[in-house]
Structure formats: C-alpha cells, structure tokens
Chain A
C-alpha cells in the first residue's frame, strides 16, 4: 500500500482532476440541456392568433365619443341601429328606439357588424389578378393597384362591350346590398343596356312570391301582421330563426306569447326540429316536399266542415267553387296522411283549430316552397289564409308599404342600351314560367358555361357569392373560371371573389351612405339611413361612389343617367330621401316611420283580373295557353327527387341558423363560436340525422361520415339527433368556406356543393330539398 500521505495527495489530486473533469462535463451537460430546453421552449409556445390590425396605441381613455344612427346590413331586415364610436373606433352597436319595425330591438347579427367592419381579412386596396388560371384552389396572385388603374381597366372593358354593341354581354350579380346601392346598380345596368341582373333572392325566394302572385297578383314576399295574430301555422318557416324581418319576429314573439291577454298558439310543420319548433306549442314532423298536400288536406277539412270565413270567401274571392271541388275530391285527410306522414287526426284537429282561432296565419317558408312544384305549394298554403279570412285584416296577411322616394328622372337610354335590353336575358329557359319572375340565378351558371343564349364577356358582382350559396356550387366555380373578365365589389375576398380579375374593396355598411327600408313584414313603411360611423378603413370606396365613378368614366348616356341624382353617395341618398323626410332630421334620427298600416284595402290590393283573391288563378291562366284547369288551382304533385331511392335512401335538407351572416362571408368569431345553439357547439356544422337512422347505419354521435349524392360528396361530423325526421339528413348553411378569411376557411361543410340542380317550374328558382343522399362512416 502506498504511504498514507501519498495516498492523500494522490487522492486529492485525483479528486481535483475528477472534479474538474466532472465540472467540465457538468458544464457541457448543462449547456446542452439549456440548448435543448430553449428549443423545446419554442416548441412549447403555441402560436397565437395573429393580430392583423395594429395594436391599439395607449390612449388616455376616451377622447372623443359620439353616437351615430345608421342601420345594419347583415341580413335583408336592415334594422336601424345606433353605433357608439370612441376615439374614432366603433365599439358598440345599440338599438335605435325610434324604429318601430322591431320596436328598436336588434337580433344578434347586428352586433357582429363590428366584426364585419374590423375584419382583418378585408381587402385593403383594389387588387388585380396576376395568375391567369382560375380555380378553387388556385392562388389568384393578387397585386395591389390604384383605384385609377382598376377603374380604368374596368372602364376599358365596359366601353369595349358597348362599342361592339354587346352591352347585353355584361352580367351583374347582386348579393346583399343596401336598397340605395341596389337602386344604383339597377340604374347602371339599365343605362348601360343589359337585362342580366342576377340576384340571390332569385336563388330561393321566387316560388314563395309566385304562389302569392297566382292568388292575388302581388309578386312579393308575404307579410304577416305578427303583432295581432292569434295562431301561426308555419310550414317549414323558422319564424324566430331565419324568416325576415327577423328582429321584428323576435320582438313580436315575446309580445304575442306573453305580453297580451291572448297567447298566440304556434304550430310548426317541418321535417326538422328547428328553433321555432322548439319554442312552438306543437311540432309536426312531415315528409319533405309534401307541405302542399298537407295544406290542401287542411283546406279539405275546413271546407267540408264549413269552418271557412264565408263572408270573405263569398265577397272577395273568385274561383272558390273549382277550388272546393278539387280539394274535396282529391285531398281527403286520410289519403294525405299516407303521403305526408301526418296522421289524419292531427290534420283534422289542427285544421279545425286554425280555422276557429281568429285571426290566424299560414306562414310558408323555404322548406315548403323550394321544390320543383314549390310555387303551387306556396299557392296552396297561401290560400289557407284566404279560407279563414286572414287577408289584409289585423293579425293576417298584409301588404307592405314602402317609402315614396323621389322619383329619379328616366334613364337616358341610347340605342346601344335599348338594343341590349331587348335581347333575351341569361337563364332564360322560360318555358312555362311566369313572366314576372326575374332571371333565374342558378340557371345563369349553365348559361355561362354553355354560352347560351350568348357568352358573357364581363361580369360585375356586388357582394355576391353564388359559389357558396347556389345548389351545385361546383358549376359556379367552372362558370366563373370561364368568364373572361370578372370584377368583384365587396369588402372581403369571398369564394366568388377568388375568380375575379379585379377586386374592388367596397366599404362595409358602417362606413357608407345609403337608405334602406324594411322587407315585407311590418306593413307600415319604415326608411332607415346608412351613414358612415367611422372613417373608411383601408383604401375602400362605397359601392355608390364606385358606380358614380364608373358612370362618369363611361360618359355619354350612361353618365347622363346619373346626372342630377346627387353626384356622390351622400348626395344620392339626400336626393332620394328628400321627398320623405328633411335631410337633417333624417341624419339625426336615422329612421322615418310611415303612416299606420291601413287594413281592409280589398279594393286596392288584389292585382288580378277579377280584382279579388283568386283560388282559380286567372293570372296564371293568361300565362298558360292551355286550359288545364289544375294548373291554375293550387294542387300537389309528388316531388321528383334527384338520385334514386335505392342508392340514396335519405333526403338532404339544409337550413340557415340564425348566426348565418347573410353577406356571403362568415369570418366573424362572435358568430362562429356559438353557431349551433341547439347542439351546443360552434365553429362548424354537422350532419344531423335521426338516432334510429344512425343506429341502423352504425353511426354514432361524433363519427366522421360521408354524405354522398349523385353529384358529389362531403365529409362531416355526424350529429345523432332526436329532432329530425328519420328519412332526412340536415346540414346547416353558412359553413364550408374555402375563402373569406381565417375564421371561416375550412370550418364545416357546404351542403350546396352536393345538391343537385333543379328548378321550380313556375318561377325558375332553385330547389334545395329534393336531392337524395346516402350517409356512411368515413
């Protein structure tokens, strides 16, 4: 053994060297660990939502505050609002108590207006396309350009068309615009010389209108005096979820259910347990497409038991005898029970109740009318109102009054314009169609694709988005890709905008001038102002100013047509509303309320040859050249479905939840995060199916499933739900975007992409509910 001392020193030395070695090792180890940890730190950190708007500069609190009266445009109701603007930024949207349509109340969508205004994915300047390829997943290669350049290019194209005498080859697509912008758009189209104004109203609202037209000659949405009614029989109309004017419906709901001595009874007939069905007194699930049959069965009961309003029927209707004969002979409740799936007992009971509770209204919605024979279903249901005398009475069907705007001078129609408008319009397969119906929107896609009756050269879209909203939306992708030159005018880049050659950033409704009035519903007229609550964001211009600019550049008769109408947006609004209300008053109050609604105008409201309500439609007889009497009477024909029953056993139904913002965009988190109230979830939509059906297919709640029609398929999450007819699959609209912005893109599925294309015979609107599908696990 070494000497103790040596051992100690060598031990010490060994310790020292060991400790040095260890400490170096420890140092390296710790450094390595730190490096790993820092890298891990980056992995741990979850990327936060990018803030596109610059962070707020620290302020000393409120420097300026003002309230601006304006109105909303997140749906066609156009409610009057007041906006609180602090330090130049809109912070709150509140009610305008002076508005009487909804007694000032607002629906949730109006508050989402703040997110429409401050949408970080808005177009910030005019954009020009650099990638000549157009397609769904194709990057347009947007390049910002100046307004001058953009408008100049557009002017060149428009001028070119007119020079070649081809003014009709301009198509104008209209989405949800203010009435004032709508007026300007139509005036421009008229002065320019094109008959092709394609509105999204004509996608799905025409059958309802033509049903009423056949009965009383008014091609309008039906309006109902909700405030005073005692019975609502809803055929597929979700009164408190999607029917317009929604805010009025919501306020009146509260009133008629709990604020009067008489509580109104509500019965909802719908294959789907909608929000309205959840609040109603009775939900009657019905086989889709048979609402007309049910209405006629009820008419059968009412007539056979002599419960109809004999006074009204005898004095103010015509064709009752033919109607009575048809109804009594062919529409017995027992037979209709088989067809509709509603038992004869229920039919008899509800019909009797409906007839004996006065006043009562039969309200038809898209679920009843968006079918190949939807106009007749609409007619059949509308006739129930007449049977019980609910026409132009308190609590019944009413006829909307409108503000009498100042009449604009006649447009200066030059030869080119006259020639253009004389040409047939697009989508003009009008065989058997009522002439008063407008251009059938969904047919326009086929027109463009086939070049029939002529190819479209230039198109301008104002807030339109048919690539999402139209059935068979894939065709629109093809059609838009085919268009040589498309200009999209809207605040954001929606699906349709991705096919544009030029995007013009329009103002949102909180930044522009305009006038609006309430859609049918209130009866009395109400006009609301739109005035800028904040300075225009980014490099945007209002649609009115864009149109004035284009008109000026075109010069000639087009520019002339806009002379003397105000010269710019504010001027135009002031000009048009001058006859209704003094400008300063209008700007200060924001609302003009018309005279109280006058009922019992039987001498004036019927625009029919007999000047009465017609069960046998003479208007229709004049259109048809044959004397097939059934075609002039309300009747039911079994709907033809797209897709055979064997392969596709279920029927696809779509609906619009309340938070579906109807401007074509859904890039709004407040609306997205609480989208489906009945299902307690947001940010998506579901494939809703009946629990028995799902069980039979081996599908559990939450499974991913394919929904396939003969036109395409989509994959979504299944929602096994008790509130739906066993043969029906329901998918909510408003999701499935592939453009628009970070909060809409990639969320949910778009049912319109797998719907087949079919049309209502009489009005040319698209059908939405007659596509068959099959569902299977993904």
Chain B
C-alpha cells in the first residue's frame, strides 16, 4: 500500500500562489469577500503564509504554502466524534461530508489551521462547477460536490485524481498529481509515495535537509519542507 506524501521546496517556491488558485479551481472551493478575508471565514484548502524575521535591512520573509499536512498521527481524526474524518490506508486524511455534523472540534484541534467550516452556502458564489451532481453531501466519490453550509472541508491531496489514476494504471506522482503540484510553475511541489524509495519525494528527502511544521506537536505530517 502506498503512503502518499508531499515535499515542498521552499527555495524554489516564489510565493506566486498558483497552488492556492488551482486548488480552488479544481475542487470548487468558494471564494470569500473582503470581510471574510479579515475574519478568516473564507475557506482555503491551500494557503500561503509569509513569516518574517529580522529588521531592515537584514530582513527575511519566508513564503510557505500550507496544504493539509495529512498527518500520520492526525489530531483531527482523534477528535472527530462522527467518524467524518479518518485516515485512509494510503495515508490520506479524508473528509466525509455526509457524516460531518459541523461540530468544529477538528478545526479547534488542527495545529495547522488548514480546516475550514462552510459558513454559508456554496451556491451564493457565481462561479461553480457543473461537472458535479448537484445533490448535497455526496459521500466518497467526488468530484467537486456542492457542500452545504455547516460541514467542514479541507485539502484532500486530490484523492479523486489519485484513485482515478490508479484505476487507469497511471504513475502517481509522475503522470497524476494533485492540482497544486500540477500548477506550481517552479516545480517546487512534488507528490509521491513516501514508502517507495525510488520515488521523487523519497529521493528529495534523502538528499536535502527537510523539516515539518510544528514538529513538537507530534502529528507526523506527511508534507515535508526543504530548506531554502
């Protein structure tokens, strides 16, 4: 069984945010308003944060893309009362809208702030995708269902692409990658099987110094970052 992970090279990343937009495009994630931007009501499956240190003129700002970390020890899975979020065998932390009761415990428990509650109906936004059955709360098989308000959503490593790719016998990580990895123009994001020693991700982790965010939390995230 594969164990999907992602490696993001912070040296190559230029903070262009193509990943953020491509993810919204792929997964029918609603956009927000200025008010929602300040209050952090708008959902972001992938966000890019800027962390600054130092003073003029010796200043450094790191731009760090943060998708769901798909932790191997996920606190969100631990606290979800309805089994709406669970760790799949291949390592992806999945979100099931049908079971989700919207208690928001997972949002409280996620150390990375990557989970988003739907504060309003998706259809309030003019842009939505028609290639989805418009019925609410579709389990499992995607793509891109309309989520009702009240449920929690987050990055899924585009498991719909991966599952489809495996069915078609394609190489995951090479032919088939999540939308953010595909969109990254500098090729800073790499996706693949962490258990496969020959995969690009494994080789990168072996040759470059890497770290994960908030390691002390013990969540064992599967999104690794390469130092600048």
Contact = CB atoms under 8 A, between A and B. Distances in A.
Instruction: Judge A-B direct contact (beta carbons within 8 Å).
Output: yes
A253 B130 contact: no
A51 B56 contact: no
Interface string B104-121: 000000000000000011
A678 B52 CA distance: 9
B130 A59 contact: yes
B128 A56 contact: yes
B185 A102 contact: yes
B15 A61 contact: no
Contacts of A87: 130-131
Nearest to A102: B185
A706 B134 CA distance: 48
B37 interface: yes
B126 A111 contact: no
Contact of A673 (B32, B60, B127, B188): B32
Interface in B1-55: 9, 11-12, 14-18, 20-22, 24-26, 31-34, 37-38, 42, 48-50, 52, 54-55
Given A674-B17, A722-B55, 6 more contacts: A105-B185, A108-B20, A120-B126, A250-B16, A253-B186, A677-B15
A381 to B, nearest CB: 21
Interface of B: 9, 11-12, 14-18, 20-22, 24-26, 31-34, 37-38, 42, 48-50, 52, 54-57, 59-63, 120-121, 123-134, 182-188
A65 B130 CA distance: 11
A285 B58 CA distance: 10
B50 A254 contact: no
B185 to A, nearest CB: 4
Interface string A32-76: 000000000000000011011101101111100100000000000
Contact of A108 (B12, B17, B42): B17
Nearest to B48: A677
Contact of A65 (B16, B22, B131): B131
A104 B1 CA distance: 32
B183 A681 contact: no
A142 interface: no
Interface hub of A51, A254, A726 (most chain B Cβ within 10 A): A254
B24 A91 contact: no
Given A120-B126, A677-B63, A683-B37, A58 B15 contact: no
Nearest to A247: B185
Interface in A378-393: none
Contact of B61 (A92, A278, A681): A278
A114 B25 CA distance: 9
A108 B21 contact: yes
A154 interface: no
Nearest to B133: A61
B26 A92 contact: yes
B33 A49 contact: yes
Q: How large, as a class, is the contact surface on chain A?
A: 35 or more
The 7 A-B pairs of least Cβ separation, nearest first, read A254-B186, A250-B185, A683-B34, A105-B185, A108-B18, A669-B31, A86-B131
Given A106-B183, A673-B31, A114 B127 contact: yes
A86 B130 contact: yes
B12 A253 contact: yes
Given A53-B126, A114-B127, A107 B15 contact: no
Contacts of B14: 240-241, 250, 253, 275-276, 279
Interface stretch (A155-163, A684-692, A750-758): A684-692
A216 interface: no
A275 B15 contact: yes
Given A273-B59, A682-B37, A91 B15 contact: no
Contacts of A418: none
A133 interface: no
Interface string A86-129: 11010111110000001001111001101100101000000000
Contact of A115 (B26, B127, B188): B127
Contact of B25 (A51, A92, A278, A672): A92
Contact of A285 (B26, B57, B63, B182): B57
Contacts of A65: 131
B216 to A, nearest CB: 23
Contacts of B121: 48
B31 A111 contact: no
Contacts of A681: 37-38
A644 to B, nearest CB: 26
A659 B121 CA distance: 27
Contact of A251 (B55, B124, B128, B186): B186
Contacts of A455: none
A111 B32 contact: no
A49 to B, nearest CB: 5
A684 B34 contact: yes
A240 B11 CA distance: 13
Contacts of B17: 108, 658-659, 674, 677
Contact of B48 (A48, A94, A674): A674
Contacts of B34: 672, 682-684, 747
A613 interface: no
A670 interface: yes
A241 B25 CA distance: 22
17 contacts: A51-B126, A52-B126, A53-B126, A55-B123, A56-B134, A65-B131, A107-B16, A107-B185, A108-B21, A111-B22, A250-B185, A251-B186, A258-B12, A677-B16, A677-B48, A679-B50, A722-B59
A51 B178 CA distance: 29
A677 B46 CA distance: 13
A240 B16 contact: yes
A723 interface: yes
Contacts of A690: 56
Contacts of B62: 278
Contacts of B42: 673
Contacts of A58: 134
A618 B55 CA distance: 47
A180 B16 CA distance: 29
A60 B25 CA distance: 21
A261 to B, nearest CB: 13
B187 A254 contact: yes
B16 A251 contact: no
A678 B121 CA distance: 30
Contacts of A723: 52, 56, 59, 61
Contacts of B182: 94-95
Nearest to B55: A722
Nearest to A58: B134
A266 to B, nearest CB: 11
